[in-house]
Structure 1
Amino acid sequence: MTDEQLQSLTEKISLEFFQKPFKHKAVFNPRLRTSGGRYLLANHYIEINRKYYEEHGLEELKGIIKHELCHYHLHLEGKGYKHRDREFRELLNKVGAPRHCSPLSEKKNLTRRIYECTRCGHIYTRQRRVNTNRYFCGKCKGKLFEK
């Protein structure tokens, strides 16, 4: 799906479920990692995470667009557009938009580093590299080495 197709889908959903036009831009943002989409208050753009469309399909994408359109229309009307606002939750229920999107199954493969104390044998696991010349065992003050 291209940005132009996303724009036309967003405009169509806005007219169908909200009976109001969407007059701004909807684009895919490759930098989004943890959220399905976001509504930008400054320029009224809607940014969508393409990974959710690729992994969960069109129905999940439509739900994310509806959710972001709830933020969009309520903000432009001067009503409560935040997740905690009653008006926002009511509009979500009215249009059938999800409050949260489904989680992505793709997990980052985190490399683990294992350090062991030479004196007491305590094992530490870390994601980041530890400078063994500077840091030492927290239990016995012994020297650490990487396994």
Structure 2
Amino acid sequence: MTDQQLHNLVVRISAEQFHKPFRHKAFFNPRLRTTGGRYMLGSHNIEINRKYFEQLGEQELIGIIKHELCHYHLHLEGKGYKHRDKDFRELMKQVGAPRFCSMLPEEKKKSSQQRILIYQCSKCQMEYHRKRSINTARYVCGKCRGKLVKVKEMLIE
């Protein structure tokens, strides 16, 4: 799907579901990582994450567009356009827009794996298993005060 096809889809959904025109731009933004789309308050444009269309299909894309159009139309009307506002929640329910987009398959894969870091004392060989990395210049072995060295990093499912 091209940016022009996406724009045409947004215009069509706005007219059919909201009965209001969409007068700004809608396009794919390759820099979006953690969200399906976003409405820009300053320019009134809508940016969409292409991965959601490619990996989850057109139905997920339509849901994201409806969600962003709720922000768009409410903001232009001067009503509550934020997620916590009553106007926003009511309009989302009315048009059947999802509150959150689905998780991408590649993100599900990452979240099911757990990273374990293993540090070892250079003096007494004591091993430390950690989920988060530690600053080896600042922290020392709790047993003998020896220098810690990162030995390896493992992924556990």
Quickly name the TM-score band, shorter chain normalised. 0.7 to 0.9
Deviations 1:14-55 (A, max 9, x none): 000001010000011111111110000000000001111111
Matched, 1:144 2:148: yes
User: What's 2:18 paired with?
Assistant: 18
Deviation at residue 105 of structure 1 after TM alignment: 1.8
Deviations 1:39-95 (A, max 9, x none): 000000000011111111000000000000000000000000000000100000000
Deviation at residue 120 of structure 1 after TM alignment: 6.2
Structure 1 stretches (4+) deviating beyond 3 angstroms?
Answer: 107-113, 124-130
Deviation at residue 144 of structure 1 after TM alignment: 1.2
Deviation at residue 114 of structure 1 after TM alignment: 2.6
Contact 1:135 1:144 in 2 (8 A): no
CA-atom RMSD, angstroms? 2.2
Contact 1:15 1:21 in 2 (8 A): yes
User: Aligned equivalents of 1:21 and 1:76: distance in 2?
Assistant: 11
Deviation at residue 113 of structure 1 after TM alignment: 4.6
User: What's 1:121 paired with?
Assistant: 126
Identity %: 58
- Unaligned ranges ≥5, structure 1: none
* Pairing of 1:2-81 with structure 2 (within 5 A): 2-81=2-81
Question: Are the structure 2 counterparts of residues 104 and 29 from structure 1 closer, same or farther at C-alpha, using a change threshold of 3 Å?
Answer: same
Which structure shows the bigger proportion of residues in strand conformation? 2
User: Aligned equivalents of 1:26 and 1:110: distance in 2?
Assistant: 37
User: Aligned equivalents of 1:75 and 1:136: distance in 2?
Assistant: 50
Matched, 1:135 2:132: no
Give the structure-1-normalised TM-score.
0.88
Give the structure-2-normalised TM-score.
0.83
- Unaligned ranges ≥5, structure 2: 152-157
Contact 1:55 1:104 in 2 (8 A): yes
User: What's 1:91 paired with?
Assistant: 91
Q: What is the number of equivalent residue pairs in this alignment?
A: 145
Contact 1:110 1:127 in 2 (8 A): no
User: Aligned equivalents of 1:74 and 1:41: distance in 2?
Assistant: 11
Residue type of the partner of 1:89? R
User: Aligned equivalents of 2:43 and 2:87: distance in 1?
Assistant: 22
